[in-house]
Structure 1
Amino acid sequence: MHSSTFLTSLALGCLVAAPLQAAPPNPVITNAWPAGARAGSTVSVTLTGSGIDKQGDLQSSAPGLQAERVSTGKPGIFRITTPKTTPPGLYEIRLAGPAGVSTPRTFQVGNRREVLEQEPNSTPATAKPVPIDSTVNGQILEAGDQDCYRFTATRGQRVVLECWAERIDSKLHPILQLFDSDGRLLKVSRGYYGIDPLIDFRVPENGDYIVRLHDLTYTGSPNHTYRLDIDTGPRVAVALPGVIRRGQPARITLLGWNLANRTDAPYPALDRVDVEIPAETTTKPDWPLPVRLTAAQTPFDAIAWQLPGAHAPILIGITDVPVVIENNDNHTPDKAQQVKIPCEAGGRLVAADEKDWYSFEARRGEAIYIELIGERMGSPVHLAASVLDATGNNELLQCRRDPRNLGGLGLPTRHSDPSGRFLAPADGRYTVVIYNRSAGIHPDPRRAYRLSLRREVPTADVAVISPGTNPRSLNVAPGGRTLLDVVAFRRRGAHGSIRISATNLPDGVSCPDIFLGPGVTRGQLVLSADLGATRANGSLSLWSSLADKNNTARRPARIGTVVQAGRPTGWSRLAHNLALGIAGDSPVRVTADGHETRVHQLYGELKVRHAPGGVLDVAIEVERKDPNHRAEVQLIGTGLPPDIANRTATIPAAKDKGYISFYLPPQLTPGRYTLGVQATTTVLAADGKKTQTVTVSSNPVVFDVHEPMFHVTLDPYNPRTIKRGQIAQIKYKVRRLNGFINKVHSELAAPGTVTKVGGLRGRGVTFVGQTETGAIQVVASDDAPLGQRAFLRIYAVGVLEDQALYHGSHFLQLQIVE
């Protein structure tokens, strides 16, 4: 888990772990059997999981797919009809009913004959015959189970055996083996597309062959499902180049098996076919894409291109800059391929020791961003790149991979693709070399890459996911709120604030804009349902944009979903849409206000202008469904920017309003930020007798941080205690900044009050001229309540033309004792 968000994430864990009277329903689909169907067919599909209703509908992102619930007395059985016009690919299905919406599950639409596994088939002797050009739907049901199939092939055929498991959300880690009829092992695959295996088999003799499939660790369960292709039809593995320009026609080469231009070269050689992609296809790429995408692929636009007759679409990137195709003769510095910035280059590193060189012109002081894309386009490469001088002898920059996992365990974003920022030291020509760190000794035609060379034009993308590391659907109770964790991908110098906004919200649901402050990569979005919101199911869209008046372009936010929880086998992926259900009950609602005015005895009602070195006070109002049950409310911050330390506070049982305050440290970069507050309390359980602990979240608090005019610091030797009826001298310093030379007036303060603070009274001090140091005299009354005053501080205002315009504070630890 990312260290800067540990406290926030720890607090959020309460939302998941708390007794669920305040938590909305969370239907989770753990398996769909079978996990796919042929276009133009009708199949019976059983969904299993937790919280699945006997009522409700099945929704899908597959075009034209229709589902009818089968009334068998068991929940989750549907008759699914997929029209012939549905393109092959990976789609999603989910449930939507009285309990809200469920988590999504991958459902594959194919264009080959479908076969269901038949038991027994655990040995080669009991292997069931299956026809060529078919897809077998199977399950490794128990530990030690293995499934065997027999197929008949003709000499000269190129048969591709491909297992779909991880890509269809299965728990199976498949191992695929191929035997001849005499039991000799011919080939084995332990992974080709990630952990999903593929065997490319050129049939040497007419006859029968046996396929055996089992889990890597010989585990099994009904959730260990798979789809096994045994195919001689066209299949695409790689597109060259892997990126094309938006709005322009493109000619690309597809590599794969059983394509138009066939090769007789031995493995791993691939067939090829050239295709034309029309401009209208690339102008506005469709979403969702019927392919599996990881969180690391969030920043990229793409299309899913379907070769007629092929088993599945191929992912091709889309860019707004010119695309250059590798000339295949750029393997030394003196033959470096000249490119013009900005551009993207598409190439391959087929040979194990191959290096590709490019050159570009840059002016002194010009910032160039170099980004390699390999793993994130599904290529089996571990790329490395460096910028060198024109001769290729002197390295000026070594590109490095980002070691951060921005999304934590819930939405892992780490990848091996390197990038770097190059600042040209002089006018002239520079070279870039690209190579593969872990190519082994064998060639591989799939080792494609994209090289992006751009100037410093900031851009940012966002992905969201429900909090926690377990599969979780998005539902909100009427009168309640629910959270989405936000992860930002900042690129090419995007250091400022990022705005996230929602559109197409269901009636009765609100989602205020939030802002990730400068440099912040994590935050939280809050969806709230009105108390009278209709219980229904729908969806919404999310967008991100830079909070920059010169760059208002918005980008669609991507949606993450946890497929499986836990280490080491847990994983997540990008989902097709953001479905939202309105369901459940909310016994408590808290509302946050970070913009209360402060009443000052000298300057009246003040609107606080926040700056580094100040304090943000957040007022919290508590509304209970049962006002007769009173209990204290514990508060803690959530979604805090990394530089802001978390705080806690408690609202007494007798009160419905309280405060929590946060110190804005001097190093905080000015900009627009967002944070929230989490509240934990008790409510009556369903029996009306016992109590139950619940945790709820507030609305987001958006606040601007301006350049500071001064900083307040306290003497470290100030007293920490004060007795009733006594006086304490609190020494402090005000250091003026940014050209501010006017007077500064200081007082004792706490949330909602200035000067008089719960039995304490401070005597204000004004600094004029060059005065920077002084002391406030604090008097404790004879009946002052014992203990520490929450969020007590020295509060200073900077005065300009008799108006208190600037604010700064520093927390004061002062305990009242006997």
Structure 2
Amino acid sequence: MLPRLASAPLPTLLLAALLAAAGGVAQGSFPRLNLILPRGVPRGGDRELTFRGERLGDAEEILFHSEDGLVTKSLQPVDAAAFKAVVHVPENCPLGEQLVHVRTRSGISEYRSFWVGALGSVDETEPNGAIEQAQVVPLGSTVHGSVENEDIDHFAVDLEHGQRLAVEVEGLRLGSQRFDPFIAVLDARRFQLAAADDSTPTLQDGILSLVAPAAGRYVVQIREASYGGDNQSRYRLHIGGFPRPTAVYPAGGKAGEKLRVTFLGDAAGPITREIDVPAGPVGGIHRLFAADDGGICPSPLPVRISALGNTLEQEPNDEIRTATPGDVTRAFNGIIGQPGDVDHFRFAARKGQVFEVKCHARGLRSGLDSVLNVLRADGTGVGGNDDAKGPDSVYLFEVPEDGEYILRVTDHLDRGRADFTYRVEFQPPQPALSLSIPRVDRFSQTRQTVFVPRGNRYAVLVNATREHFDGDLVLDGSQLPAGMTMTAPVIKAGQGQVPVVFEAAADAPLSGRVIPFEARQVSAQDPQGAAGVRGRFENHADFVTGDPNNAVHYSGDVTKLAFAVVEALPFHVEIVPPQAPLVRNGSLPLKVVVRRAQGFAQPVTVELPFRPPGVGAVPSITIPPDQSEGVYQINADGKAATGTWHVSAIAMADMGGRAWVASPLTPLEVAEPFTTATLARASCVQGQPAQIACTLTQLRPFAGAARARLHGLPPETTAPELPFTKETKDLVFEVATTANSPAGNHKSVFVELVTTVNGALVRMSGGGTELQIAPPAPAAAPQAAPPQPVPAAATSPAAKPLSRLEQLRRQATGAK
């Protein structure tokens, strides 16, 4: 029995009642969200946003991935493809990116972003393409604009001597266009004082800061890095006196403890603060914003929440003999501060200890491209790594003997800079678990949400990725929307994927929810998974792609899954449970039934997304508008995983957009065949019969008679099917040929074994063989008769023993 979890009881309904209620079915589905304008808003008040896409006319709700207190105050349709929303953004809302879905009456959109800032908004005003046309803006503003082809926008601010000017742009990070911005600051004499194209903390968006060398007017310039652009190349340009550091050191601390950090890279100098490291999650990221009397930085720097305290490097430590002493129970922190810099740390370890040694640098937005090496105390190498998991180094260190060791950290290209911070942690390999839904389209979020029609079902595949552990997993459906239930098989140890079916009651309220969809490890000793490894759903949506080879330039990452109950649809799909198993090297027709509401006459495309290992099928079948049944042919190879699996069909119809339903989970048995067969090679002359011997091996008993059929025979060649039982060991196929049977060596011949189980046919492909058909020998020329020898006394010749093939042939024909 499969586990079924519900957030509310699901009443039992008759199919007739469901179809009768289909008068209010959805007439559009699969809403799409393409863009939210403006691309950002200041926090602290009600803000109007316009949502644009496709099939958004029946939008009912905005689903926020964050828990930052954003509230939708109103929704007002514009047309079928857009609506306006008033969203309250609290004064204490964290700055940065907000990811949202739109829930309509018929589905859930992909998630897109808008940004929250601390500064007042100013719209760009043209013309501002020349320095003398620079638009004057208040210091402490966020400018919303766009860059056309070969366009340069200019903005002017007035500064006092010694006053800090910081500039940050959100362009690529807006996630709607491959826009690579370039920013610069010019003085009154048009000399460039600072410029930035790409900045490690902000990817391809630039950041810069400077201290005004004199009182006067300064111009901030923005353009596309290669002077391109178009009306979709939008930006948010923050101009103010806020601190804009490029790194924080150390870049991590022990969970739940206080940590003294220094912000590096700001033009006004280092900024030291004491912060509280959150208590969890351990291994997570704390978003740390630099702030002072000049304001708050628009975007954060990441600080790792760790189980380890800190050891800070002590210069000089460029050589082994001056290595900073430390301990593997604390993280090693340092800065590769100049070109050619090398940092060394000394630590002790015991034979048999195993550590995953990881350098956290690029993952914490440092510019360092780390290289790690572990050395013995005498400098001889043990091992190391450059790039293992992305650009950060990871090395599995198995301690060979007790003693002291050296950790060496450097940059791959021997670069160095005052903000090339890093953090190295030694930890035993930690078990980890994550869930995902496989993509059906590489660059889209299609079917990465769960929206279930009332009185119907929807299904997804769930992938489970385990690291450093194995074991059974169960999915948690306790937070689903009201009226929705989940049926999910246990994800067995060694198994990485299962189909999961969600069902909504016919009277379930139309609603949605974004939840941390989770799985937990269970065992016989811990059936509830109280102490087991836990993991949750993760999704990485490709917001911006481009050269080379559609590389992902910016993605939106979430750790929650969106669910919704949507309007009813006028069709259901079911798989008729097969009465017989699918055997290895065999095939099985799955009967699929579409139950249509009156008047629904659309073709329905059916897919079988989950197939047990070693089981194959066509991508989809289509059931025509005037039919309600179809056959999904599946087959198993010789190594297919045996056992009882559960499969579900998903079906799609065009309802003014793609609309999906799913069947219940249906058991499918994959089994060893009842019988296997081996065919012997055979030959004959055109027009003459051939005999193909078939040796049977009985693997499992079966009732009644089965049949063996030859397939792949050449044209003008036939052979009757032969019956056999569980006791039969040998068969002989009498192959008839004609004068027109093609001569040659025919290698496509194989035997099919058909067994009846529970009134259903079990088909299995047996062994193959070769059939050699030769042309007749040419007629010989007449020759003179040789002289007749004198007859000798007659003797009876010894009887020649019959071959095994001839014995079987006589047995088959009843000859004596």
| Fold shared by both chains (TM-score > 0.5) | yes
The one-character-per-residue Cα deviations of 1:85-140 (angstroms, maximum 9, x if unpaired) are 32333223443332433333322222223222222223323221011122212223
Deviates more, 1:217-226 or 1:711-720: 711-720
| Alpha-carbon spacing, 1:24–1:46, altered in 2? closer, same or farther (3 Å) | closer
What letter corresponds to residue 543 of structure 2 in structure 1?
A: V
Does 1:477 find its partner at 2:484? no
Distance 2:753 2:648 in 1: 21
Which of 70, 73, 83 pairs up with 1:76? 83
1:604 corresponding residue in structure 2? none
| Alpha-carbon spacing, 1:581–1:694, altered in 2? closer, same or farther (3 Å) | closer
What letter corresponds to residue 638 of structure 1 in structure 2?
A: P
What letter corresponds to residue 470 of structure 1 in structure 2?
A: S
Distance 1:121 1:106 in 2: 28
Instruction: State the shift of 1:277 in Å.
Output: 0.7
SS in 1 for 2:94: coil
Distance 2:751 2:514 in 1: 41
Which of 391, 408, 416 pairs up with 1:433? 408
Instruction: State the shift of 1:55 in Å.
Output: 4.5
Instruction: State the shift of 1:197 in Å.
Output: 0.7
Pairwise mapping of residues 46-61 of structure 1 onto structure 2 (< 5 A)?
A: 46-53=50-57, 55-60=59-64, 61=66
Distance 1:498 1:230 in 2: 50
Instruction: State the shift of 1:382 in Å.
Output: 1.7
Q: Check conservation: 2:144, 2:235, Cα contact below 8 A.
A: yes
The one-character-per-residue Cα deviations of 1:669-721 (angstroms, maximum 9, x if unpaired) are x9x9988565678x7x779xxxx999866566799999x9x99986586899x
Which of 383, 389, 393 pairs up with 2:376? 389
Which of 150, 154, 159 pairs up with 1:148? 154
The one-character-per-residue Cα deviations of 1:439-485 (angstroms, maximum 9, x if unpaired) are 54xx4233222323222443233344764222446334345555656
Which of 87, 93, 104 pairs up with 2:94? 87
| Alpha-carbon spacing, 1:517–1:630, altered in 2? closer, same or farther (3 Å) | farther
Distance 2:453 2:419 in 1: 48
Does 1:449 find its partner at 2:449? no
Name stretches of at least 5 consecutive residues in structure 2 with no aligned partner: 1-24, 684-688, 710-719, 737-747, 772-816
Distance 1:22 1:438 in 2: 58
Does 1:108 find its partner at 2:115? yes
Give the TM-score normalised by structure 2: 0.70
Q: Check conservation: 2:157, 2:217, Cα contact below 8 A.
A: yes
What letter corresponds to residue 177 of structure 1 in structure 2?
A: A
Does 1:579 find its partner at 2:562? yes
2:390 corresponding residue in structure 1? 415
| Alpha-carbon spacing, 1:655–1:45, altered in 2? closer, same or farther (3 Å) | closer
Distance 2:482 2:708 in 1: 44
| Alpha-carbon spacing, 1:144–1:614, altered in 2? closer, same or farther (3 Å) | same
Which of 588, 596, 614 pairs up with 1:625? 596
Over the aligned positions, Cα root-mean-square deviation in angstroms equals: 5.0
Instruction: State the shift of 1:650 in Å.
Output: 7.0
SS in 2 for 1:391: coil
Pairwise mapping of residues 247-396 of structure 1 onto structure 2 (< 5 A)?
A: 247-255=256-264, 257=266, 263=269, 271-277=270-276, 281-283=278-280, 300-307=283-290, 309-311=295-297, 312-341=299-328, 343-394=330-381, 396=382
1:160 corresponding residue in structure 2? 166
Deviates more, 1:225-234 or 1:381-390: 381-390
What letter corresponds to residue 217 of structure 2 in structure 1?
A: D
SS in 2 for 1:282: coil
1:30 corresponding residue in structure 2? 34
What letter corresponds to residue 636 of structure 2 in structure 1?
A: F
SS in 2 for 1:334: helix
Instruction: State the shift of 1:437 in Å.
Output: 1.0
The one-character-per-residue Cα deviations of 1:587-645 (angstroms, maximum 9, x if unpaired) are 55445699x7759xxxxxxxx9x9xx79897955433225999999987653558x636
Q: Check conservation: 2:142, 2:237, Cα contact below 8 A.
A: yes
2:614 corresponding residue in structure 1? 644
| Alpha-carbon spacing, 1:628–1:213, altered in 2? closer, same or farther (3 Å) | closer
SS in 1 for 2:279: helix
What letter corresponds to residue 352 of structure 1 in structure 2?
A: P
Give the TM-score normalised by structure 1: 0.70
| Alpha-carbon spacing, 1:390–1:211, altered in 2? closer, same or farther (3 Å) | same
2:385 corresponding residue in structure 1? 399
Instruction: State the shift of 1:189 in Å.
Output: 1.4
What letter corresponds to residue 167 of structure 1 in structure 2?
A: R
| Alpha-carbon spacing, 1:557–1:431, altered in 2? closer, same or farther (3 Å) | farther
Instruction: State the shift of 1:176 in Å.
Output: 1.3
SS in 2 for 1:376: helix
Q: Check conservation: 1:29, 1:102, Cα contact below 8 A.
A: yes
| Alpha-carbon spacing, 1:538–1:727, altered in 2? closer, same or farther (3 Å) | farther
| Alpha-carbon spacing, 1:494–1:217, altered in 2? closer, same or farther (3 Å) | farther
Instruction: State the shift of 1:417 in Å.
Output: 1.9
Instruction: State the shift of 1:233 in Å.
Output: 2.0
SS in 2 for 1:401: coil
Does 1:180 find its partner at 2:179? no
What letter corresponds to residue 557 of structure 2 in structure 1?
A: L
What letter corresponds to residue 174 of structure 1 in structure 2?
A: P
Identity of aligned residues (%): 18
| Alpha-carbon spacing, 1:304–1:615, altered in 2? closer, same or farther (3 Å) | farther
Q: Check conservation: 1:503, 1:540, Cα contact below 8 A.
A: no
What letter corresponds to residue 451 of structure 1 in structure 2?
A: V
2:234 corresponding residue in structure 1? 225
| Alpha-carbon spacing, 1:92–1:398, altered in 2? closer, same or farther (3 Å) | same
Which of 65, 70, 83 pairs up with 1:65? 70
2:513 corresponding residue in structure 1? 538
The one-character-per-residue Cα deviations of 1:235-254 (angstroms, maximum 9, x if unpaired) are 45433222222344434333
Q: Check conservation: 1:305, 1:315, Cα contact below 8 A.
A: yes
Pairwise mapping of residues 457-496 of structure 1 onto structure 2 (< 5 A)?
A: 457-464=430-437, 467-468=440-441, 469-472=443-446, 474=449, 475-478=451-454, 482=458, 490-491=466-467, 493-494=468-469
1:557 corresponding residue in structure 2? 537
What letter corresponds to residue 184 of structure 2 in structure 1?
A: Q
Pairwise mapping of residues 729-808 of structure 1 onto structure 2 (< 5 A)?
A: 730-731=694-695, 745-746=699-700, 755=706, 763=724, 777=731
| Alpha-carbon spacing, 1:637–1:347, altered in 2? closer, same or farther (3 Å) | farther
| Alpha-carbon spacing, 1:188–1:760, altered in 2? closer, same or farther (3 Å) | farther
Deviates more, 1:32-41 or 1:757-766: 757-766
Q: Check conservation: 2:31, 2:108, Cα contact below 8 A.
A: yes
SS in 2 for 1:78: strand
SS in 2 for 1:318: strand
The one-character-per-residue Cα deviations of 1:221-276 (angstroms, maximum 9, x if unpaired) are 55432211112123454332222223444343333537xxx53xxxxxxx121313
Instruction: State the shift of 1:163 in Å.
Output: 0.4
Name stretches of at least 5 consecutive residues in structure 1 with no aligned partner: 1-20, 264-270, 286-299, 403-413, 600-607, 734-743, 767-773, 783-787, 798-807
Instruction: State the shift of 1:190 in Å.
Output: 1.2
Q: Check conservation: 1:466, 1:483, Cα contact below 8 A.
A: no
Distance 1:515 1:704 in 2: 16
